[in-house]
Amino acid sequence: MFGAGGGTSAYSEVEDTDLVLLWGSNARETHPIYFHHVLTGLRRGAGMYVVDPRRTATARWARGHLALDVGTDIALAHGMGRAILDAGLENRAFIERATTGFDEYVRAVEPWTLEKTAEVTGVDADLIRETALAYARADRAQLCWTLGITEHHNAVDNVRALIDLALLTGHVGRWGSGLVPLRGQNNVQGGGDMGAIPNRLPGGYDVTDDGHRARFDAAWGSAIPPEKGLHLSQMFEAMERREIRAVYVVGENPAESEADVAHARALLGGLDHLVVQDIFRTATAEFADVVLPSCADWCEYEGTVTSSERRVQRVRKAIEPPGLARPDTEILCDLARRLGHDWGTPSPEEVWDELRSLSLDWHAGMSYARLEAEGGLQWPCPSLDHPGTPTMHTRLWERDPALRGTPAPFAPVVHAGPLDELSPEFPLRLTTVRRLDSYNSGVQTGGYTSPLRREEALCVDAADARALGVHDGERVRVVSRRGAVEAPVRVDAAARPGLAFITPHFSEQVDVNLITNEAWDPQSGTSEFKATAIRIEKLAVGARVPVAGA
Amino acid sequence: MDLVLLPDAATEAERAAVDAAVGSPGHERRDLLLPAFHAVMDAVGWISRGALSYVCDRLHVPPAEAYGVATFYALFSVTPRAPRTAHVCDDVGCAAFGGEDLCAALEERLGPPGSGEEVTWTRSPCLGLCERAPAVFLQRASPSAEDEGNPEATRALASSPHDDAPGGDHAQIAPATADTVLRALDGEDVDGPDPVVSTPQAGGPDLELLSRVGVVDPGDLDSYRAAGGYAGLRRALAVGSARVVDEITVASLTGRGGAAFPTGTKWAAVAGSPEPEKYLVCNADESEPGTFKDRVLMEADPFALVEAMTVAGIAVGARTGYLYVRGEYPAAERAILRAVAEARRHGYLGDDVMGSGRAFDLEVRRGAGAYICGEETALMNSLEGRRGEPRAKPPFPTVAGLFGKPTVINNVETLVNVLRIVAEGGPAFASIGSGRSTGTKLFCLSGVVARPGVYEVPMGTTLRELLELAGGVPPDLRAILLGGAAGSFVTPDQLDVPLTLEGTREIGATLGSGVVLCFDSTTDFAAVLRRIAGFFRDESCGQCVPCRVGTVRQEEALARIVRGREIGGRTIELQLLRDVDRVMTDASICGLGQTAASAVRSALALGLIGGS
Amino acid sequence: MTTVDLGTIRRLVSVTVDDVEHRAPEGATIMDVLDDAGADTPRLCQAPNLTPVNACRVCVVEVEGSRPLVPSCARKVEDGMVVRTDTERVAHSRKMVLELLASANDLSEAGDDVARWQIEYGADPERYGPPGPPAAAGERGNRHAGHHGIPDGETRATVAQPVTVDNDLYVRDYARCILCYKCVEACGTDAQNTFAIAVAGRGFDATISTEFAVPLPDSACVYCGNCIGVCPTGALKSVAEHERREAGTWDPEGETVTTTVCSFCGVGCSLELHVQDNTIVNVTSPSDHSVTHGHLCIKGRFGFQHVQNVASPGEH
């Protein structure tokens, strides 16, 4: 944010903060060790509000739980923004000094009275106001979010609405005040930092910036295309248009993880050539022409990963990889050689040092020796004598405009509900969630036996179950506009009337992405996993004997 | 908090009992855990899975922790138990004076301890009725506590537990016989022990602490006022808090619970603390074997304690005082609850005490069978709804006590002394006795004395003079356990010791809690010592290694010595006992472990057992 | 307005240990000073990532002005404090704590330090007589506070009992449990805040227990294994380690430990992979790591199996 794609705060700041606002994040289960830091903060007296459609384990630690309707985050954020403005609690000094676009923001939130916000979001107006004022009044506040914000068709707008709240109150760039997007994988941050996103070069440089691109061109001896590449969803569209005919998939399992997965599978199956490089023979690998077995980098090879607090840390080889598995870099260098480019056989440290020579602002100071000795470093770390940066954007508080740099822009984003709208035909909202002991499509966590694990089920509120005449454990048909799956029903106190949820962990039990919505955010390419319109149908009598039948 | 509860549901009766006791606070109220468990015990006689889950749900306490608390206390049962249980004292003050005989008789009539579905019996440590051995405490669940009081009162309990009447139908019998116990177990009403009978000096001259025993009606505030009651509080409010603290300091009043810490130092520290929230706690968890003085004070003169706590609370700046009364003292609890309600009704407690504009009120909490909770920091943990495990000191309670706030904690007798000090002034009090030992002191005489009971004498009175008051030095006196199980034995040649902190220390003894338990030469000292060793093994909280394992090894070694089954000979066993003694004394967390070898050590030194 | 962490204001205080003066920041413990000075202070219930409970009492020292000995792990230094570690009283108490524990517990997996201290301080647990028979499964948890069978002294009471195996991830071998409270703290406010276990019962009969001693799968346990991470005696261990030990294939000498980063979310938890024979046998985290403070979740501690399974993944 503000030109740097990473959270602004160190984890330890949440221990020193006065208010925690967790938005679309069930950190208790999905980021348990980060939540330890949150709990320390709570024990030291911080208050916490949780925004989540479900009554999650996280929400049960909160002072206030804002159980909004799925996909109404911008409405809620704007309603809070207006409540803060109405109370005169905006941080004038910060807004004037460090932001642009305030007037547009004020106009954008103007329609969002408490009454309207409550009506659109389903959250009690008093609670919205209480939360907004608590956030604004706190001397320090942390705003954290996860997939509940980003797995929507308007993910980036959602994020920007939250950033607006931080700008409005000055809760950024100070120790204890900041914005923390909690990343879902150990190197989402690092992958982006290394340029594995369509619009960035390694080190976060804009790919359209001629000056920086020239440095990379010179170092790599090759001309980098000056325009943004495609993100995942655009790639699938290009496959559909038959513009992309060959795909090289590294460490991703779209044949299970994509929304509307039947469609994705059809496209993968129709390619001229598919290469899959993975530690497992995944569902995607089943479609591949070539499978390149690779090491599990976190324990079978050397390198670095970057965490949600921008901390770069070393991963190391502890065990020998199985069979023919090889490190990703070796595979890539071999491939390059066969394509006529001799990249040599660089050691992991040599690869890293090349990055350091180009990522001048973020990584130049992070030698392997320092990463080893200092237990990781947080970027930006531009030189060997730089201590790393726990808190970002402190510059915004500088008195000297020159030091302050580019102001942070407000984004007058507009609320737009889920594209997969509820209707009489599809009256229930289904959202996908994750559980403590499992991970994404379950490829890795399926390997161990968890005592917490239960059969995958569609979790619904008791009232909905009653209304539908289904009982706990009964198998039902779950139908969306894209398809249908069968699943047992489980009554769960975390659901609420009109809201059902399920995990993506066990596609072999319930292949939920057959029914999720492929609609994606044009800015990030993230699909609308969090909002599917469904109906629940009882199975025909005799189709299956219910477990606890009459 | 993301609580995970067992699926078992509470019964209607369990839910009603919990709701009446604690309501539905809606946020964590761990401090109501003991009242909630008492409510369940009082209603149904044991704590089921469903009941525990329900309590946890109400109070937002994790069930594993709640279970850890429930299983810490002897009066709680987490397995089905007969709803009416007789706890029979087999401790040093009762065993040889009818206690063991009573146990044998009950075993014959009711079967082994713990058996029986409707009624049962169990052995118990000292019940604080030593002057009328053998003693029995009856824990009787009464299913519908609501039927007894009026519904108004029951609803009021939701905000303030034990507002007026204690739950259950508990009672004490002493002296007890198998017949009286069986009849009481069948539900027959029991006359509580008359405290006046326990006070041979009652009505006599020169009494201060006991002056109102047998003179005032413990249930009648007007009777208390007619005897000069609430003059002390009036005076304290008039002279102001700083002056009251100063008088206590000048009086050189020391704690009467056993540790003998200067009371004025505690008060001054808390009064001077900048922390806005402070607490006063009265330690009425009198459990030292052989001790019953605080019980008598509470039963016979409860308003004095309430008034003294009000003086103390206001003086140190506390708005709330907690009175933690021993669970085996139902009569004292009833008397105190009645006095608190009366005092509140008359404006002696509440938002505007005696029209002074100062606020102070009392909460009465019932212990649940744990000697360790007489240790001040263990008591605070117990009040907070935790296991009664002592805390590390420092920080001391005056800095971080109850709920982490500065806290004055005083024993019942200590507090009652305060009334005299505010009435007469510190110097007058200090003129009695000498050195650090000022004022009068209560002693609990039992065993082979002619007139057992509580006696009040000026500090400095000799042990012989005290015995004379109780009918003379017992013939054939062999030893006196002075100060309690945590004290030590003294012999007939030491009777001229002045009963002061300094005088007793000079002969290697202690005043302790004022226990004077007399044994003649027919005593089976081996049995006495094994009972004491067993007592500490039972009452050790288990937190620190020296006490948890040391008390076990001490009991085992004593068993070998008295049975002549020494490993490697007597000298080696005595060395082993000395080694265990030293680590318990040197390295235990609290006073329990530090004194758990004291009586054994002195008995061995005096040759009371083992013949060496 | 400050944008950076101001930290804590700390003065230096002067402490004398065995006649040598040391300077230490206020807030430091006596043990911190002893550690800095290179002393070999025994410890069992202390851990750098847990609040001191000072329950074991093996680290006691003499402090001038205090009659009882003082636990060095918990007592904070004060200016002018005079500490002695070289006295017979200190040595006696340390020896007795080690001896009493060894007389009641199986300390055979308590590590090299404990074995060394046992010898160094001269602990002799056998002098309390032969060990009594082990308790039946669950019996110790059913004892009622304030009541115990009267011993005859012919044998010494111990906490011996069968191993509890009620789930696929870890075992509880309470014959080794010294009630150091570390697991309770790690499960509680010091880390996980799940409170699945607590100390139940009283005195020598106290145990670590779930509510009503229900099996872990019925309790609040989330299998973070942070209790295993802090257990000093091997009372809590992974099923993998337990089975290897039972089978006689446990090979601590051949074990390597490699530090890496967990792959299961974006928090970046530091993992120490304990590897024997090219197989991950345990996962821990360094207690001084700023992200984890030594604590992990179920995925980090037990989720490594996917790099071990020879069978095809994707078949859960």
The nearest alpha carbon in chain C to B580 belongs to C96
- Hey, how many other C-beta atoms are within 10 angstroms of the C-beta on B354? 19
Same domain, C109 and C192: no
Same domain, C293 and C194: yes
pLDDT of the residue at B577: 96
Q: Is A501 on the interface with B (CB under 8 A)?
A: no
Return the residue matching tokens 């708005």.
Answer: B319
Rg (CA), chain C: 21
Closest CA to B260 of B425, B399, B466, B436: B436
Tell me which of A9, A36, A144, A324 to substitute to probe the interface with C (most C C-beta atoms closer than 10 Å): A36
pLDDT of the residue at B156: 39
CATH architecture of A428-538: Beta Barrel (2.40)
Report yes or no on B79 lying in a domain.
no
pLDDT of the residue at C1: 52
**Letter string b/e over residues C191-218, b meaning 16 or more CB atoms within 10 A of that residue's CB:** bbbbbbbbbbbbbbbbbbbbbbbbebee
Report yes or no on B203 lying in a domain.
no
Kind of pairing between the strands at A246-250 and B361-366: unpaired
Report yes or no on B358 lying in a domain.
yes
Q: Is B568 on the interface with C (CB under 8 A)?
A: yes
pLDDT of the residue at A423: 95
Domain ranges of chain A: 11-181, 188-378, 428-538
Q: Is B1 on the interface with C (CB under 8 A)?
A: yes
Give CA–CA dist B98/B134, Å, rounded. 5
Total CB pairs under 8 A between chain B and C: 215
Give CA–CA dist A527/B90, Å, rounded. 75
Q: Is B103 on the interface with C (CB under 8 A)?
A: no
Convert the pLDDT of each residue in B109-138 to its tens digit: 999 999 999 999 999 999 999 999 999 999
Q: Is A193 on the interface with C (CB under 8 A)?
A: no
Same domain, C166 and C300: yes
Give CA–CA dist A83/A132, Å, rounded. 7
Give CA–CA dist C244/A62, Å, rounded. 43
Same domain, C187 and C300: yes
**C220–chain A nearest CA distance, Å:** 10
Domain that holds residue B515: 434-520
Contacts with C50 from chain A: Cβ below 8 Å: none
Domain count, chain C: 2
Tell me which of A58, A448, A454 to substitute to probe the interface with C (most C C-beta atoms closer than 10 Å): A448
* ipTM for this prediction: 0.95
Q: In what order do the strands lie in the sheet with A273-278?
A: A246-250, A273-278, A290-293
Return the residue matching tokens 């550690």.
Answer: C35
Two tokens at A404? 């302050």
Whether residue A516 is predicted with pLDDT greater than 90 in this model: the reply is no
Closest CA to A393 of A23, A9, A101, A16: A9
What does the angle CA A352 – CA A354 – CA A356 come to, to the nearest 5 degrees? 70
Return the residue matching tokens 């709640």.
Answer: B66
Report yes or no on B480 lying in a domain.
yes
User: Contact at 8 Å (CB) between A182 and A308?
Assistant: yes
Report yes or no on C98 lying in a domain.
yes
The nearest alpha carbon in chain C to B48 belongs to C212
Burial class, B60, CB count within 10 angstroms (exposed 0-12 / middle 13-18 / buried 19+): middle
Two tokens at C141? 């948890």
Contacts with C314 from chain A: Cβ below 8 Å: 280-283, 443, 446, 508
Contacts with B556 from chain C: Cβ below 8 Å: 128-129, 151, 153, 156-157
Which CA distances in Å does B68 have to B56, B382, C182, C199, C216?
12, 12, 15, 5, 16
3-state secondary structure A65-87: EECCCCCCHHHHHHHHHHHHHHC
Tell me which of B2, B56, B57 to substitute to probe the interface with A (most A C-beta atoms closer than 10 Å): B2
Same domain, B63 and B103: no
Two tokens at B300? 């016979």
Convert the pLDDT of each residue in B318-327 to its tens digit: 999 999 999 9
Which CA distances in Å does A19 have to A41, A144, A308, A373, B341?
9, 11, 19, 33, 42
Residues in C 239-278 with any Cβ partner in A closer than 8 A: 256, 258-271, 273, 275, 278
Chains that touch C (3 or more CB pairs under 8 A): A, B
Return the residue matching tokens 């500088």.
Answer: A398
Give CA–CA dist A286/A255, Å, rounded. 9
pLDDT of the residue at A331: 95
Same domain, B179 and B237: no
Q: What is the mean pLDDT of residues A450-472?
A: 93
Kind of pairing between the strands at B320-325 and B361-366: parallel
Contact flag B392-C156 (C-beta cutoff 8 Å): no
Report yes or no on C176 lying in a domain.
yes
pLDDT of the residue at A153: 87
Q: Is C214 on the interface with A (CB under 8 A)?
A: no
B550 Cβ partners below 8 Å, 6+ apart? B580, B583, B584, B588, B593, B596, B597, C96, C100
**A384–chain B nearest CA distance, Å:** 44
Convert the pLDDT of each residue in A315-366 to its tens digit: 999 999 999 999 999 999 999 999 999 999 999 999 999 999 999 999 999 9
pLDDT of the residue at C311: 46
Convert the pLDDT of each residue in A137-146 to its tens digit: 999 999 999 9
Q: Is C8 on the interface with A (CB under 8 A)?
A: no
Contact flag C300-A33 (C-beta cutoff 8 Å): yes
Per-residue confidence band for B611, with pLDDT thresholds at 50, 70 and 90: low
Burial class, A101, CB count within 10 angstroms (exposed 0-12 / middle 13-18 / buried 19+): middle
Domain count, chain B: 5
Same domain, C165 and C76: no
Mean confidence (pLDDT) of chain B: 93
What are residue B444's DSSP bridge partners?
A: B454, B515
Two tokens at B379? 């008591």
Whether residue A405 is predicted with pLDDT greater than 60 in this model: the reply is yes
The nearest alpha carbon in chain C to A39 belongs to C193
Domains A188-378 and A428-538 equal at CATH topology level: no
Same domain, B403 and B460: no
To the nearest 10°, the Cα dihedral for B364, B365, B368, B371? -80
Looking at per-residue confidence, does B151 or B197 come out higher?
Answer: B197
Q: What is the mean pLDDT of residues B508-521?
A: 95
Per-residue confidence band for C316, with pLDDT thresholds at 50, 70 and 90: very low
Per-residue confidence band for B147, with pLDDT thresholds at 50, 70 and 90: very low
The reply to whether omega before B395 is within 30° of 0 (cis) is yes
Residues in A 240-259 with any Cβ partner in C closer than 8 A: none
Q: What is the mean pLDDT of residues B406-415?
A: 98
**B91–chain C nearest CA distance, Å:** 12
Whether residue B343 is predicted with pLDDT greater than 60 in this model: the reply is yes
| SS3 call for A96 | helix
Same domain, C234 and C120: no
**C121–chain A nearest CA distance, Å:** 37
The nearest alpha carbon in chain C to A301 belongs to C260
pLDDT of the residue at A507: 82
Report yes or no on B562 lying in a domain.
yes
Q: Is A57 on the interface with B (CB under 8 A)?
A: yes
Contacts with C310 from chain A: Cβ below 8 Å: 322
What are residue B324's DSSP bridge partners?
A: B283, B365
HSE-CB for A308 with a 13 A CA cutoff: 28
CATH number at residue B107: 3.40.30
Q: What is the mean pLDDT of residues B472-494?
A: 95
Convert the pLDDT of each residue in A68-95 to its tens digit: 999 999 999 999 999 999 999 999 999 9
Please give the helix or strand (H or E) that residue A265 lies within, else none: helix A261-269
The nearest alpha carbon in chain B to A43 belongs to B1
End-of-domain residue from the set B456, B485, B520: B520
Per-residue confidence band for C163, with pLDDT thresholds at 50, 70 and 90: very high
**B495–chain C nearest CA distance, Å:** 28
Report yes or no on B128 lying in a domain.
yes
Whether residue A309 is predicted with pLDDT greater than 90 in this model: the reply is yes
What are residue A488's DSSP bridge partners?
A: A475
Whether residue B531 is predicted with pLDDT greater than 70 in this model: the reply is yes
Closest CA to C280 of C312, C224, C232, C238: C238
DSSP state of A20: E
User: Contact at 8 Å (CB) between A175 and C2?
Assistant: yes
End-of-domain residue from the set B384, B406, B430: B430
Instruction: Dump the DSSP string for B494-522.
Output: GTT-BSSHHHHHHTT---TT-EEEEEETT
Give CA–CA dist A448/A445, Å, rounded. 6
Contact flag A451-C216 (C-beta cutoff 8 Å): yes
Per-residue confidence band for A1, with pLDDT thresholds at 50, 70 and 90: low
CATH number at residue B454: 3.10.20.600
Chains that touch A (3 or more CB pairs under 8 A): B, C
Give CA–CA dist B214/B209, Å, rounded. 12
Contacts with A436 from chain B: Cβ below 8 Å: none
Give CA–CA dist B332/C140, Å, rounded. 35
CATH number at residue B300: 3.40.50.11540
Same domain, B439 and B512: yes
Same domain, C169 and C108: no
Rg (CA), chain B: 23
Give CA–CA dist B265/B246, Å, rounded. 10
Contact flag C265-A30 (C-beta cutoff 8 Å): yes
* CB nearest C278 (choices: A316, A319, A444): A319
**A57–chain B nearest CA distance, Å:** 5
Q: Is A440 on the interface with C (CB under 8 A)?
A: no
User: Contact at 8 Å (CB) between B538 and C203?
Assistant: yes
**A13–chain B nearest CA distance, Å:** 22
Two tokens at C24? 């230490």
Whether residue B51 is predicted with pLDDT greater than 70 in this model: the reply is yes
CATH code given to domain A11-181: 3.40.228.10
CATH number at residue C105: 3.10.20.740
Q: Is B57 on the interface with C (CB under 8 A)?
A: no
The reply to whether omega before B200 is within 30° of 0 (cis) is no
Same domain, B502 and B535: no
The nearest alpha carbon in chain B to A29 belongs to B2
Whether residue B453 is predicted with pLDDT greater than 60 in this model: the reply is yes
- Hey, how many other C-beta atoms are within 10 angstroms of the C-beta on C19? 9
DSSP state of C136: P
Q: Is A174 on the interface with B (CB under 8 A)?
A: no
User: Contact at 8 Å (CB) between A78 and A161?
Assistant: yes
Q: Return left, alpha or beta for C181; rule: phi > 0 is left, psi -120 to 50 is alpha, else beta.
A: left
**A59–chain B nearest CA distance, Å:** 8
Domain that holds residue C273: 159-307
Two tokens at B562? 């008295």
Contacts with A35 from chain B: Cβ below 8 Å: none
Report yes or no on B612 lying in a domain.
no
Report yes or no on B5 lying in a domain.
no
pLDDT of the residue at B143: 65
Report yes or no on C143 lying in a domain.
no
Give CA–CA dist C31/C46, Å, rounded. 10
Contact flag C306-A311 (C-beta cutoff 8 Å): no
Q: Is A61 on the interface with B (CB under 8 A)?
A: yes
pLDDT of the residue at B160: 41
* CB nearest C303 (choices: A33, A39, A444): A444
The reply to whether omega before C71 is within 30° of 0 (cis) is no
End-of-domain residue from the set B35, B70, B105: B70
Looking at per-residue confidence, does A401 or B51 come out higher?
Answer: B51
pLDDT of the residue at C314: 40
Whether residue A449 is predicted with pLDDT greater than 60 in this model: the reply is yes
In the CATH hierarchy, which top-level class contains the domain A188-378?
alpha beta
Same domain, B510 and B561: no
Give CA–CA dist A131/A67, Å, rounded. 12
Whether residue B562 is predicted with pLDDT greater than 50 in this model: the reply is yes
Give CA–CA dist A390/A311, Å, rounded. 9
Report yes or no on C147 lying in a domain.
no
User: Contact at 8 Å (CB) between A160 and A409?
Assistant: no
- φ, ψ dihedrals at B329, nearest 5°: -115, 65
Q: Is C111 on the interface with A (CB under 8 A)?
A: no
Contacts with C265 from chain A: Cβ below 8 Å: 30-31, 182-186, 439
Whether residue B166 is predicted with pLDDT greater than 90 in this model: the reply is no
